[in-house]
Chain A
Amino acid sequence: MFRNQYDTDVTTWSPAGRLFQVEYAMEAVKQGSAAIGLRSKTHVVLACVNKASSELSSHQKKIFKVDDHIGVAIAGLTADGRVLSRYMRNECINYSYTYESPLPVGRLVVQLADKAQVCTQRSWKRPYGVGLLIGGLDESGAHLYYNCPSGNYFEYQAFAIGSRSQAAKTYLERKFETFVDSSRENLIKDALFALRETLQGEKLTSSNCTIAVLGIGEAFSTLDQETVQRLINEFEVVGEDPPAEASAAPDQSDGAEPGPAAAAAAAAADDDDQETPAADQGAAPMDI
């Protein structure tokens, strides 16, 4: 009856000037489990929440090394994320073959964004359903970028994407001014605290998160589980008790009005049995 007439094709405009398919793709990013990134002058830290799709399975990897100087954390369709990671690895390796120097991060990000943009302008394609936080180091220092399915990209001091990322963003917004001169250890600490904000009724442990670091004199690497657990204990990043904030911060991020897009998101999320009934929360079945 009131079916959306303008969302059957990526390239079809709505009279209001929107591309619904692209917006739906952005919705897929919001439903992936959270990923955060933050940077100082010298270091970038990426962190993510790991969720298993069932009691019987392990979780999927969400942080990838692209090169010694670039790493990426993803939220959304992990399959798309892996394809894009492979693309970025290729670009880096080809660049260093030709020029014997590392590919500047900003250039890789532009190439990636251009690739995503093409998918929004071809009727036979679909946008990538993944958001990427790209951390990197080059001549001009440490950088953190966010690439989204629409082909837009932004540079950040600190950012969070994925489900309940608003809570992490609130934490980061409160503290980001201290990050520029922050030490490596303090960045990791803030990453863990920000990550905790995105958990609901769950304790932060080394088995439900991944942390990766990159900086001057330090190639990109993910921290091993023992190290992460040691840091969690050291910083006393205690988890929250389940009932305390069960209703806190439903993910109503950045003023996107709950229109048809949100309705579609709800439809996509409704067979997710592990989550609270709130429709726009939790992981989509294809992600996790």
Chain B
Amino acid sequence: MNNLIGSDADSQRTLYPYVTGTSVVGIKYKDGILLAADMGGSYGSTLRYKTVERMKSVGKHSIIGASGEISDFQEIMRYLDELILYDNMWDDGNSFGPKEVHNYLTRVMYNRRNKFNPLWNSLVLGGVKNGQKYLGTVNMIGVHYEDNHVATGFGNHLSRPILRDEWHENLTFEEGVKLLEKCMRVLLYRDRSAVNKLQIAKITEEGVTISQPYSLKTFWNFAAFQNPTVGAEGSW
């Protein structure tokens, strides 16, 4: 049967996500861009996968971090790898920078939502090219913007207030990592989808480095953590 949207055969769309990753946080710092994301892959509310890499390099100048549907992120990476390969094959000294990749992704995301078949992700794009730092984000309906610090999902609510208070232009690498870890620790405490295994990715004029997975120190002995229902009459 055909309807306004398309035939039934076309209706194999992502109606809701299956395996998802949670927040990505990104900041500019003195020499480039830092991104942080944990490695959890949730199957609904089940913490099903523990070693999902959600940050990847894109060509020489860019890095991408993804939250949302993991399989859609894998498809996006196929698009980007093709894009970068095509760019390299010109072999003419020109290359896509983070701005070009971000804009390309914005077009892809918006185009897919117009087909009522969105790629179910929020993406963070960072990079450095010709001394210019770039940090932006785009989501599943094509909303996009640039900023000095960005976050996806819960990070928007829990990390960005911290970043607004504490971020400044001249953060060193160490200060930047410390700030990101502060954000990730808050997310770990308050976001039930977050897991305590994360990576930090760095991009500078020299290139991309993505850290080995590691854990944050936590302290669960606060009274509110020990007995969370006190003062919340009627909850279990």
Interface 9-mer from B13-21, B95-103, B157-165, B189-197? B95-103
* Complex contact B93–A139 (CB within 8 A): yes
Contact across chains for B103 and A98 when beta carbons are under 8 A apart: yes
* B107 & A107 in contact (Cβ 8 Å cutoff): no
Q: Is A239 an interface residue (CB 8 A)?
A: no
CA distance A234 to B93 in the complex (A): 40
List B contacts of A106 (CB < 8 A).
90, 92, 94
Please report which residues of chain A, range 90-132, place their CB below 8 angstroms from some CB of chain B when the two chains form the complex. Answer: 97-101, 104, 106-107, 110
Contacts of A99 in B (CB 8 A): 96, 99-100, 103-104
Closest to A138 in B: B94
A98 to B99, CA, bound (A): 11
Chain A residues 129-148 with CB under 8 Å of chain B are: 138-140
Q: Which residue in chain B gives the minimum CB-CB distance to A107?
A: B90
Partner of B99, one of A97, A101, A107: A101
Measured between beta carbons, the chain B residues less than 8 angstroms from A139 are 93-94
Q: A98-B103, A99-B104 are in contact. Are A140 and B93 (CB under 8 A)?
A: yes
Residues of A within 8 A of B97 (CB): 101
B100 to chain A: which residues have CB within 8 Å?
A: 99-101
For A100, the chain B residues whose CB sits under 8 A away are 99-100, 103
Closest to B100 in A: A99
B97 and chain A: residue at smallest CB distance: A101
Chain B stretch 50-100: residues in CB contact (< 8 A) with chain A: 90, 92-94, 96-97, 99-100
Which residues of chain B (94-122) have a CB below 8 Å from chain A? 94, 96-97, 99-100, 103-104, 107
CB-CB nearest in chain B for A101: B100
Report Cα–Cα, A100/B93, bound state, in Å: 19
B136 to chain A, nearest CB (A): 11
Instruction: Report whether B94 and A98 are in contact in the complex, using a CB–CB cutoff of 8 Å.
Output: no
Residues from chain A with a CB closer than 8 A to the CB of B107 are 97-98
> Are the CB atoms of B96 and A104 closer together than 8 Å?
no
Shortest CB-to-CB span from A98 to chain B, Å, is 6
Chain A residue nearest in CB terms to B103: A100
Shortest beta-carbon distance from B100 to chain A in Å: 4
Bound CA span A106–B87, Å: 13
- Beta-carbon nearest neighbor of A139 in chain B: B94
Q: How far is the CA of A104 from the CA of B91 in the complex (A)?
A: 12
Bound complex: CA A206 to CA B45 (Å): 75
Instruction: Report the Cα distance A106→B92, complex, angstroms.
Output: 8
Closest to B101 in A: A99
Contact B104 A140 (CB under 8 A): no
A70 to chain B minimum Cβ distance, whole angstroms, is 14
A101, B100: Cα distance in complex, Å: 7
B93 near A98 with CB under 8 A, answer: no
Q: In the complex the two chains form, what is the Cα distance from A63 to B151 in whole Å?
A: 48
**Nearest B residue to A99 by beta-carbon distance?**
B100
- Which chain B residues lie closer than 8 Å to A107 at the CB level? 90, 92, 94
Kindly identify, within residues 191 to 216 of chain B, every residue whose CB is under 8 Å from any CB belonging to chain A. none
- Chain B residues with CB under 8 A of A98: 103-104, 107
Least Cβ–Cβ distance between B36 and chain A, in angstroms: 27
**Is the pair A140, B94 in contact by a Cβ cutoff of 8 Å?**
yes
Contacts of B103 in A (CB 8 A): 98-101
> CA A19 – CA B138 in complex, angstroms?
52
Least Cβ–Cβ distance between A278 and chain B, in angstroms? 42
| Contacting residues, chain B, for A97 (C-beta < 8 A) | 107
Which residues of chain B are within 8 angstroms of A110 by Cβ–Cβ distance?
Answer: 90
CA distance A106 to B93 in the complex (A): 10
Taken together as a complex, chains A and B put the C-alpha atoms of A90 and B100 apart, in Å, by 18
Note all chain B residues with C-beta closer than 8 A to A101.
Answer: 97, 99-100, 103
Query: How many angstroms between the C-alpha atoms of A97 and B103 in the bound complex?
Result: 8
Contact residues in A for B99 (Cβ distance below 8 Å): 99-101
Complex Cα gap A98–B107 (Å): 7
Q: Which residues of A contact B94 (CB under 8 A)?
A: 104, 106-107, 138-140
8 contacts across the A-B interface (CB closer than 8 A) = A98-B104, A98-B107, A99-B103, A99-B104, A100-B99, A104-B94, A107-B94, A139-B94
Q: A98-B103, A101-B100 provided; 8 other pairs, C-beta below 8 A?
A: A97-B107, A100-B100, A101-B97, A101-B103, A106-B92, A107-B90, A107-B94, A110-B90
List of 7 A-B pairs having minimum Cβ-Cβ separation, nearest first: A100-B103, A99-B100, A104-B94, A106-B92, A99-B103, A140-B93, A101-B100
